[in-house]
Amino acid sequence: NKKEMMKPNNLQIKRQQTQLTQVDVAKSAGVSERCYQRYESKEYREPRVNTAIKIAKALGIKDFQEFCSLWKY
């Protein structure tokens, strides 16, 4: 559903709240900008655990529940 793909997800919302760019988060997580964009756009379901942890660290997330909420769509 195209409309669903356009709706911001928790990952995008959190990044915007932290005032980081997609490039900032991608570099911190060790992935390409395009790869990170695919996580936000829901083109990729979710990253591998080690990448998810790096993304969470880049976004300043320390709480496990908040970490889990990033990947709910």
pTM over 0.85: no
CA 57, 61, 67, 70 dihedral sign is negative
Contact 55, 11 (CB under 8 A): yes
- pLDDT averaged per 10 residues, the chain (length 73): 61 94 96 93 83 92 86 65
pLDDT of residue 32: 96
pLDDT of residue 43: 82
